[in-house]
A and B are shown apart, each in its own frame.
Chain A
Amino acid sequence: MNRWIIIGMLVVAQHVTPQCGNGSSSSSGVPQNMVVINLNAGPTGDAFNVPFVSVTVCLPGQTSGCQTIDGVEVDTGSSGLRLLSSALTVALPRQTTSSGSAVVECFPFQDGYTWGPVATADIRVGSEQAGSVPIQIIGASGTPAAPDSCTSSGGAAENTLDTLGANGILGVGIFRQDCGPACGFVGSSNPGLYYACGSSGCQITTESLTQQLQNPVWMFPQDNNGVLIQLPNVTPPGQVQASGLLFFGIGTQSNNALGNANVFTLDNSGNMTTTFGSTRSPGFIDSGSNGYYFLDTANTQIPTCADIKDFYCPTGTLTLSAGNIGANGRSNTVSFSIANADNFLNLPDSLLPQIGGPFAGYFDWGLPFFYGRSVFTAIEGQSTSGGVGPYFAY
């Protein structure tokens, strides 16, 4: 079936089926393992290359007390659902330690951190549901200020709409939990993401795997081994807005088959190897990054913009190529284009396929990579038709 007809049917289906089914397709025949991705300016009104979906949260175990929040960013670069307190009206129960202290998380992103308590919610995305999932409420009032050990950990605090740029982050990445076994370690080997906040302030605490924020996808009863993101092709210089699809599961339904996609397995940190010329970098595919970010001017000879050092500003349009190599040896060459960001940033477009910028440490295949592709993200330890995750495939 034509993808855009499916989107139309799905939009209708979302309005007539507020409660979810538990099968793979509804009576209308619309697959229930998918949800529309909105590529638009988002809740701040100025976003570009950011994929948004709606997410519903309910009080655990109840069909009442639900709220649907739109403008939640889909992020294959992290795991776990995080919602801005300012967007949330449901009073979700908070997680506490055995001594009754509030459990609060300091979660690092590449450009900043979020600070807020862990709560428990039933989650619904499209028609897929997960029960009693730990999530983060970002910037909740009544929570102690982030301690020095959190504010020292990275960039800016991203606890408000203007700094987060979304009403929340839906982390559907390669990990089952956001931290993993390390947050269960006692002492200085604990990376320090979770805090117990009581009358004596906030101290780093141990957090077991089941208490940590969970990738909601692996908590679904079906279609739980990963996600497929399909976004339309975008003609340069850009497009004002568009829709795409987020499918749950890989090879679990007729609409999320791997087909002839290349599977790139990953190292323990979740990276492929990406080559550009003679330079090799750890590489990853991240729907939560809004451009191609790679290397630096010393490697690429591409100048950064005079005003915004985050972006490249070549004089013309450059057609480049880079190679991805999986831990399994699978390799593939990707052709992509970078043009002068200064020519785009004043456009009213929320889809900018030729935007890129520097970073010497990684090759970050951000959202422009997804345009015109089917991109799979498989979760660690989950079996799929392409093998056990984690992997990226396209």
Chain B
Amino acid sequence: MRVPRRIFGLTIVAACLAVSPDVQASLGGSPSSVQDDRVHMQGALRQVVRSGPFTLHELQSASGVVVREYVSDAGTVFAVTWQGATFPDMRQLLGPYFDRYHAEADRLARSRRGHGPLTVDLGDLVVQSAGHNRSFSGRAYLPGSMPQGVGIESIR
């Protein structure tokens, strides 16, 4: 797995979060949902990085999948990314968006004419997934919740 040791141009500002009883899932959720994801993943919080109008929380699951969650100053998880030998728990990660994502992925599987990366674009929700045996990555984001001036090239 290819995980950069540090992120250039960003500054590490904190490395711990309060444990929260809140069980909201991540995408579209509050900052406390990041901690719920960490607990669910039985993983570790690797770093919290401040970058312009958002804060990036990087988690690593017990099985090695690295998840990054992007939290806006408005307090919304507007994007998540993942990278690892397998997938993270997408139901946990996408929360209220999972069912729509899954239904569209199913529709696309029936209409596509071969295999390749998956792009689910429902307007208010975009999920992209790619990779191969033992190496997968992807990202999900809410275009309507992206902080002003943040492009999708920042979500990786």
User: What's the tally of chain A residues with a CB closer than 8 Å to chain B?
Assistant: 70
CB distance from A313 to the nearest CB of B (A): 13
Residues of B within 8 A of A291 (CB): 116
A interface footprint on B65-94 (CB within 8 Å = 1, 0 otherwise): 000000000000000000101110111100
B11 contacts A by Cβ under 8 Å:
no
Residues of B within 8 A of A190 (CB): 63
A139 contacts B by Cβ under 8 Å:
no
Which of A46, A112, A269 is close to B109, meaning CB atoms less than 8 Å apart? A112
Residues of A within 8 A of B138 (CB): 361
CB distance from A271 to the nearest CB of B (A): 6
Q: If the complex has contacts A108-B87, A190-B63, are A47 and B114 also in contact, measured as CB distance less than 8 A?
A: yes
Residues of B within 8 A of A358 (CB): 117, 119, 128
* Contact yes or no, A110 B114, CB < 8 A: no
Interface of B is mostly: mixed
CB distance from B9 to the nearest CB of A (A): 15
A43 contacts B by Cβ under 8 Å:
no
Q: What is the count of residue pairs linking A and B with beta-carbon distances less than 8 angstroms?
A: 187
CA distance A188 to B92 in the complex (A): 16
B6 contacts A by Cβ under 8 Å:
no
* Contact yes or no, B86 A290, CB < 8 A: no
A286 contacts B by Cβ under 8 Å:
yes
Residue of chain B at shortest CB distance from A288: B115
* Contact yes or no, B91 A152, CB < 8 A: yes
CA distance A288 to B117 in the complex (A): 10
* Contact yes or no, B113 A48, CB < 8 A: yes
Which of A182, A270, A289, A304 is close to B117, meaning CB atoms less than 8 Å apart? A289
Q: If the complex has contacts A191-B85, A193-B86, are A357 and B114 also in contact, measured as CB distance less than 8 A?
A: no
Instruction: Give residues of chain B (101-145) contacting chain A, Cβ–Cβ below 8 Å.
Output: 102, 105-106, 108-110, 112-119, 121, 128-139
Given contacts A193-B86, A362-B130, 19 further A-B contacts (CB under 8 A): A47-B114, A108-B87, A111-B115, A152-B89, A152-B92, A153-B89, A270-B135, A282-B2, A282-B135, A286-B132, A288-B132, A296-B152, A299-B153, A359-B128, A359-B130, A361-B83, A362-B131, A366-B116, A367-B114
Residues of B within 8 A of A (CB): 1-2, 42, 61-64, 83, 85-87, 89-92, 98, 102, 105-106, 108-110, 112-119, 121, 128-139, 151-153, 156
Q: List 14 A-B contacts (CB under 8 A).
A: A46-B113, A47-B113, A153-B87, A154-B90, A154-B129, A156-B106, A179-B134, A188-B63, A192-B63, A289-B117, A290-B115, A361-B128, A361-B139, A364-B116
